[in-house]
A and B are shown apart, each in its own frame.
Chain A
Amino acid sequence: MFETARFEGERRLTGSVVVAVGLSAFAAMMVLIAPAILDEFDVAELTESFPPALVEAMRLDVIATIEGFMALELYWFGWLLVLGIYVAYNAASAIAGDIDDGTMDTLLAAPVSRWQVLFEKYLSLLVPILVVNVVVLVVVYGGTQLVDEPIAAADLVAVHALSIPYLLFWGAFGMLASVLAPRRVVAEGVAAGALVATFLVETVADGTDLDWLGLVSPTRYYDPVAILTASDYNYTGAALLFAGTAVLLLASGAWFARRDVQ
């Protein structure tokens, strides 16, 4: 048990470290330039010079604080989009990629069940999720202390911790794409494309007549801006994401157990 999770987890380590270093470098840069930029922001002028809908969509009203600045510059794009896509994309190639290159045959020739293979491959996604979150958390915490623009530690921990259900959801979605798609590239495209699409829907529809559309977007249930600027932790959203994750994983397992591996 867990041999596959361990093996896949080890393989993901290098990529996870690379992503962690990249996002850390980006985070460090944002932290370092934050004090100078925050001084220059004139929120009133900003909000006036853009249409209200855009101000609302881009959350420009909170950008003048270190919390708002980091939430928007790092977590909104870095977590909701970049890390989300990374996880979804990796999950999508987990099964479909192995089937494409024949690795799945070698694996399924062993006395392992497909449920187990799928579940353990999914578990290995915890490696990038945890590595990137822990490393960047430390960098942002240390960095904001260093430039003397501290962010409440509890909020910082929460913004990372509550990203985990969001990322796990996209991992599960990627797994479903991976077992449904005929080929690896299709699975990867579907997973990454769905993430971008739902992100855009939530961003654009938020506060408009089409607000209800955002209900189906996972983006709605993890809001780094609210967490950092208002200490508003959406536990219900996290629970919904976990529930969605479970449903997607069960569907993936059921389909993978039945389908032909060609």
Chain B
Amino acid sequence: MPAIQTHGLTKYYGDVCGVEDLSFSVEEGEVFGFLGPNGAGKTTAIRTLMGFQSPTEGTATVLDADITDTAALRRVRANVGYLPSEPGFNESVTGRRLLDYHGSLRGDVRSDELLELFDPPLDRRVGEYSRGNKQMLAIVMAFMHDPDLLIMDEPTSGLDPLKQEEFLEFIRAEQDRGKTFFFSSHILSEVRKVCDRIGIIREGRLVELEDVASLIDRSGKTVRANIGGSVTAAEFEIEGAHDVTVSGGPGSTESAGDAPEVDGDEESTSVSFTYTGTYEPLLTHLLEYELLDLAIEEAPLEDVFMRFYGDHDAEAVVERVENGREETEAGDNGGEETGDDETRDTETADV
């Protein structure tokens, strides 16, 4: 029995499409990432699954309860943890009073233990809390009754980078305990770190549903080489290489700083491309040149992500993604960037 299953789930707000024809399932014990930019319909899908709003069309079950059967859904909510994207609290009371209250509504079996990991100042009024403290309080509330299924909307938003890491680690540990996670995100690095499968949503529709490993496989590697002398892009149009770009000339290569001592007069060229083949032909080809610096990295999921967004105007896409990132960073203290660099599988060879 899948923990969550949707069939053609559709939600319109009047004429405005929230989500349309979503069909997917989240298996028990799985961490499912629901990915998409702001406004893609992630929150709409989650709020419909929680029963806050009824679907316009289609059906869905959460832990076997039909989301339109309010009584059944109410019963299973005892076994569901929910983390909203912008947690709202009664701000005039202390965190402790709120925890007591929500504990009495849904049961409290592990708040003490959770408070060691996520420690908002419980004796202060919630109105005085920072965004991060509110998020931590919301996390404790979502997990305090030890539910089997967690539905989370942008769960790391508001947390500092260290807490984000701890939270992702916590998700992994909880998954080992058999918990199921369904969470939305627009931060690829965190999705990549903890999710088994992802669904990508765009303008209310599911455009891709795949496990993370094969998505990364398909996205290939980013190769950046700094080569002595002058080369042309055509020389690197080998099998499996895409989007070859060549830049530089004397002293203008961006990776010069990382390279071993290069003679100032010597010309060097930067070559970069995406590569989806095996290592051997790539390295053989590269060794035909005077290799000053070489970096082969897992292609950022952003590239894959953008592909699904299907915009032909790359610059516009980049601009939109960058704007999206700036917004996230403003809210998140740039946390996901730190995580991103840390986990990207990097193999660097200096020659």
Contact = CB atoms under 8 A, between A and B. Distances in A.
Contact of B52 (A3, A111, A257, A260): A260
Interface residues of B, number: 34
B137 to A, nearest CB: 10
A111 B78 CA distance: 5
Given A3-B101, A111-B106, A103 B93 contact: no
Interface in A230-258: 257-258
B351 interface: no
A36 interface: no
B157 to A, nearest CB: 13
Contacts of A258: 54
Given A11-B90, A262-B53, A102 B84 contact: yes
A260 B78 CA distance: 21
Contacts of A106: 82, 84, 87-89, 102, 138, 141
B104 interface: yes
Interface string A105-120: 1111111111000000
A101 interface: yes
Contact of A113 (B47, B74, B141): B74
Sorting the interface of chain A by its residue count into under 10, 10 to 19, 20 to 34 or 35 or more gives: 20 to 34
A104 B76 CA distance: 18
A4 interface: yes
Contacts of A139: none
B281 to A, nearest CB: 54
Contacts of B51: 108
B90 A105 contact: no
B71 to A, nearest CB: 8
B199 to A, nearest CB: 22
B86 interface: yes
Given A11-B90, A106-B84, A111 B75 contact: yes
Nearest to B71: A113
Contacts of B47: 105, 261-262
A198 B102 CA distance: 39
Contacts, number: 77
Nearest to A117: B105
A7 interface: yes
Contacts of B82: 105-106, 109
B98 to A, nearest CB: 9
A82 to B, nearest CB: 23
Interface string B73-85: 0111110111010
Given A11-B93, A109-B82, A102 B88 contact: yes
Contacts of A109: 50, 77, 80-82, 84, 106, 142
Interface in B90-131: 90, 92-93, 97, 101-102, 104-106
Given A7-B101, A110-B105, A103 B88 contact: yes
Interface in A78-118: 98, 101-114
A79 B77 CA distance: 42
Given A3-B104, A11-B93, A113-B70, A108 B86 contact: no
B77 A110 contact: yes
B13 interface: yes
A103 B50 contact: no
Contacts of A105: 47, 50, 52, 82, 84, 88
A57 B78 CA distance: 57
A262 B47 CA distance: 8
A98 B90 CA distance: 8
B52 A103 contact: no
Interface string B290-309: 00000000000000000000
B77 A111 contact: yes
Given A105-B82, A105-B84, 14 more contacts: A3-B104, A7-B101, A102-B88, A105-B88, A106-B102, A108-B50, A108-B52, A109-B82, A109-B106, A111-B74, A111-B76, A114-B70, A261-B47, A262-B47
Per CB-CB distance, the 10 closest pairs between chain A and chain B, nearest first, are A102-B88, A260-B53, A109-B82, A110-B105, A111-B78, A3-B104, A111-B77, A103-B88, A110-B106, A261-B52
24 contacts: A3-B101, A11-B90, A11-B92, A98-B88, A102-B86, A103-B90, A105-B47, A105-B88, A106-B88, A106-B141, A107-B105, A108-B52, A109-B50, A109-B84, A109-B106, A109-B142, A111-B105, A111-B106, A112-B105, A113-B70, A114-B70, A260-B53, A261-B52, A262-B13
